[in-house]
Amino acid sequence: MKKFFKSTLFFAGQFLCSVMAITDAQAQKEYSNWYFGNQAGISFAAGNPQATTGSAMTTYEGCSSISNPQGQLLMYSNGENVWDVNHQIMPNGSSLGSHNSASQGVIILRAPGSNTIYYIFTVDAIDNNLAGGLRYSVVDMSLRGGLGDVTATKAVRLPTPTTTGKVTEKLTAALHANGRDYWVIVHGWESNNFFSFLLTSTGVNSAPVVSAVGPVHQGGGSFFGSANAVGYMKISPNGTKLALAQRDSQFELYDYNNNSGQVSNYISLRGTSSFHYGVEFSPDNSRLYTTMYSDGGFDTNVYQYNIQAGSSTAIQNSRQIVASIPGLSSAIQAASDGKLYLSGLNKPYLNSIEYPNNLGSACGFQQNSVSLGIKLGQNGLPNQPNVVSVIMKNMMPSTMNRLKIYPNPTKDFIVLYLSDNMIKDMDKISVLDLMGRTVVEYKVADLKIIKGELVIPVNAIARGEYIIKATSSNESNSKRVILE
């Protein structure tokens, strides 16, 4: 926060799933518990966000939290420490390499194909002269009776070959085109290099994909003289666009290739105001949002761009203000309910964009829409990969979720049960990967049904995460499944 006053996101392959509307809170429960700000927290586990208590963390900006697939909190971090579900710092969970005033100082990812191994990636802040670089630590949740701990693999620095070796405060992650692995992306300081590191089931590839494109990130205000390292970076839900904010100068849009990790085709979206900070895409990939502070630095405008407008000039000209907010409202984060949420500095609430796919005022900005109880937000919201938005964009509305699946996680088979005699009306069962691509699809008429249950073998399916969707003429129900 200091920098703001110094210078005035089945399976097993055999079922289709267009991941279903977020009225099914199952859609992405790993990121359904948010911890941020001054011991603030909200949970989407029951659907609508509700304030939670118990957080032991204070952070001005960077934070990340993750839960198990059932929505039970596992850990949260400000990039300096990591806390367990009991709100205690893990025994080896300090000195992770970041600073709580780094914009996106930390992000937590589950290792592809694992239910127990997690990676905590961190970057440093301008408050520390960006000295820490990009680092990662490994958490094993099988330790301490399921409470987890950081292993001996802690604060391992990854190579970012620039003149200084430093990276900015921007740190994001995107689902790989294979629907299983992740790209972890940072930007070099005093450099125009993007670095995309691949995280797979075998670990982190320390040789990044390097893309030299766009302006050099350098300079800016604050008494550190490096405020352009501040601000967010995000990847669109479909993995094809990257946007970032340099706080005191640029707002930038690029193409991103989630198969190769390459960044290309720079477009400048800078307006007349400076002090860019928050960045987020709409779930359908059509709109881009950013927060910009007024020249005085004490009020905020929320801008929307139509990134489907056509040419770069058309995208630039599509810019419009969709909200003006008293005070500083900084981070923007997509949530599992299909909405975008905005932080407020020292405010006991979050603001929201209710219909982020809609143009202009139809996006439905709501001020003070989520109460934080007696706790206060700050500039940051939990950093998470674009997987939440990936799932959201594939969802189809459903009034209720009547699909039950067990065991989950599973290895060899899955049992699918549909309540209320839905099976007799069901047309098909499908399985999608997390990118929304059909792995396999079955006609229900061709399947054997025993007492309302379908038993489906999954031992031939690649290990990973899938979504099973059951579709009838008037509704769809879906669940996420993990194959171990």
Longest CA pairwise span in the chain (Å) = 70
In this structure, the number of other CB atoms found within 10 A of the CB of residue 187 comes to 28
Please give the pLDDT value at position 475.
66
Return d(Cα 305, Cα 317) in angstroms, integer.
8
CA of 354: how far to CAs of 37, 334, 338, 463, in Å?
22, 11, 8, 35
Tokens encoding 287: 């709109």
Asked if 326 and 364 touch (Cβ cutoff 8 Å), the reply is no
Separation in Å, CA 219 to CA 126, 237, 341, 344: 11, 30, 29, 26
- Separation of alpha carbons 304 and 152, rounded Å: 44
pLDDT of 17 > 70? The answer is: no
pLDDT of 357-379, one tens digit each?
A: 999 999 999 999 999 999 999 99
- CA 279, chain centre distance (Å): 12
CB atoms within 10 A of CB 429: 27
Of 134, 145, 244, the C-alpha closest to 195 is 134
- CATH 2.130.10.10, applies to 25-393: yes
Radius of gyration of the chain (CA): 21
In the chain, the amino acid numbered 68 is N
Give the SS3 label for residue 314.
Answer: helix
**Cα 13 from chain centroid?**
24
Burial of 107 (0-12, 13-18, 19+ CB in 10 A): buried
Q: Dump pLDDT digits (tens) for 74-108.
A: 999 999 999 999 999 999 999 999 999 999 999 99
HEC sequence for 103-153: CCCEEEEECCCCCCEEEEEECCCHHHCCCCCCEEEEEECCHHHHCCEECCC
> With 60 as the cut, is the pLDDT of residue 352 above it?
yes
Give me the torsion for CA of 154, 68, 436, 265, rounded to 10°: -30
Peptide linkage before 409 cis (omega within 30 of 0): yes
Q: Which residues contact 80 (CB under 8 A, 6 or more apart)?
A: 94, 95, 96, 98, 99, 100
Q: Are the C-beta atoms of 428 and 442 separated by less than 8 Å?
A: yes
Q: What percent of the chain has pLDDT over 90?
A: 62
Residues in the chain: 484
Please give the distance of CA 354 from its chain centroid, rounded to a whole number: 18
Q: Residue-wise over 278-290: b if at least 16 C-beta within 10 A, else e?
A: bbbbbbbbbbbbb
At CA 104, angle to CA 120 and CA 166, rounded to 5? Answer: 85
pLDDT tens, position by position, 301-318 = 999 999 999 999 999 999
- 130-141: buried (b, 16+ CB within 10 Å) or exposed (e) per residue? bebbbbbbbbbb
If you average pLDDT over each of 22-36, 111-125, 319-333, which comes out highest? 111-125
pLDDT at 265 over 70: yes
Question: Residues 40-54: pLDDT tens digits?
Answer: 999 998 878 999 999
Question: HEC profile for 362-396?
Answer: HHCEEEEEEECCCCECCCCCCCCCCHHHHHHHCCC
Query: Considering the domain 403-483 in this protein, what is its CATH number?
Result: 2.60.40.10
Domain boundaries, the chain: 25-393, 403-483
Contact (Cβ atoms closer than 8 angstroms) between residue 289 and residue 307: no
Instruction: Give the integer Cα–Cα distance in Å for 323 and 331.
Output: 14
* For range 269-273, the mean pLDDT: 68
Q: Which two tokens stand for residue 204?
A: 């982190």
d(CA 289, CA 274): 15
- Here the tokens at position 401 are 């979720």
Lowest mean pLDDT among 256-260, 345-349, 362-366, 395-399: 395-399
Alpha carbon dihedral 77, 81, 82, 85, in 10-degree steps, equals: -100
Whether pLDDT at 158 is above 60 = yes
Check if the beta carbon of residue 78 is closer than 8 Å to that of residue 106: yes
Q: Quick check: 306 and 316 in contact, CB under 8 A? A: no
Position 273 pLDDT exceeds 70? no
Cis peptide, bond prior to residue 397, ω within 30 of zero:
no
Question: Which pLDDT band, with edges at 50, 70 and 90, does 396 fall under?
Answer: very low
Distance separating alpha carbons of residues 83 and 65, to the nearest angstrom: 9
Q: What is the pLDDT of residues 248-260, one digit of tens each?
A: 888 999 999 999 9
pLDDT at residue 32 is higher than 60: yes
Q: Are 88 and 81 in contact (CB under 8 A)?
A: no
Residue 185, token pair as written in the block: 């992306």
